[in-house]
Amino acid sequence: MNTTGELTLNMLKEKFQVTEMRVESPNRVWARIAPDKILAIAKFLSNELEFDHLSSIAGADYGEALEAVYQITAYSHGIVLTLKAKVPKSNPVIDSLTPVYWNAAWYEREAYELLGISFRGNPNLAPLVLPAEMMGEYPLRKDYKGYPNPT
């Protein structure tokens, strides 16, 4: 199947009512999605559009809201689809992608401990890189107090 970035976006638009989207270059497309649709979208992408490889999950802190950023791509073509989902800082919960992409597990653990986005359905949401006593400080948030730390 010959997927192009634009085609993918159009399909997403039809099926999931995605509104905000753009084509940045032939190989990079971008879309903002509703956080409760992420699992359905991932299932659709991997089953029907051959987007079978999750490249990374990042989180970002935008003041009042946190954003989960997914880079989904494929082994057969070079299109990287960036999906952004906004979650409120007071209750940052989003569905985990582990049922669709096995390798989401560690990316989600990392985003959880560094930014505090909690992934519902992740089998083991334990700290990965931080020592246990630093859990809950969320160092990558912009209002984190412990940086710089000249001790």
Partner 1 sequence: MGEVEGAGSETAKVRPIQKIIDAHVTFTTTSAIHDFLKKTPLQDLINWGRKNSLWFLTQPMGCCGIEMICTGAPHYDTDRFGIIPRCSPRQADVMIISGYITKKYMPALKLLWDQMPEPKWVICMGDCSISGGPFWESYSTIINTEKYFPVDIYIPGCPPRPEQLIQGFVELQKKITAKQDRTQKGDT
Partner 2 sequence: MNGEIETQINLKPSEMLLHLGPQHPLQPGPFLLDLVLEGETVKDATLEMGFIHKGIEKILENRTYLQCIPITDRMCYLASISNNEVFCSGVESLMGIEPTERAKYIRTIMLELTRIQSHLLGIGEYATDIGFLSMFLWMIREREPIISLLEMVTGARLNHSFVRFGGVAYDLPAGFKEKTLRTLNEIRKKVEKHDEIMSRDSVYLKRTKGVGVLSRKAAMELGVAGPAMRGSGVDYDIRKVDPYLLYPDLDFKVITAPNGDVFDRVKVRLSEILESIYIIEQCIDMIPGGPFKQGYNPYLIKPKPGEVYSRVEDPRGEMGMYIVSDGTFKPYRVKVRGPAFATMQALPPLLKGAYMADNAAIASSMDSCTSEVDR
The residues that touch partner 2, with contacts defined as CB under 8 A, are 24-25, 27-28, 30, 52-56, 58-61, 69, 71, 75, 77-78, 80, 82, 101-103, 105-106, 114, 127-132, 139-140, 144, 147-148
By CB under 8 A, tell whether 146 contacts partner 1.
yes
Which residues are registered as beta bridge partners of 81? 29, 72
Q: Return the one option of partner 1, partner 2, none that residue 151 interacts with (CB less than 5 to 8 A, by type).
A: partner 1
> Which of 2, 75, 102, 131 touches partner 1 (CB under 8 A)?
131
Q: Checking phi first, is residue 136 left (phi over 0); if not, alpha (psi -120 to 50) or beta?
A: left
Angstrom distance (rounded) from CA 139 to CA 107: 16
> Strands (DSSP E) along the chain, which ranges?
21-25, 28-33, 53-62, 65-73, 80-88, 93-95, 118-120
For 143, residues 6+ apart whose C-beta sits below 8 A from its C-beta are none
Q: What's the min distance (Å) between Cβ of 3 and partner 2?
A: 13
Q: Return the one option of partner 1, partner 2, none that residue 32 interacts with (CB less than 5 to 8 A, by type).
A: none
By CB under 8 A, tell whether 148 contacts partner 1.
yes
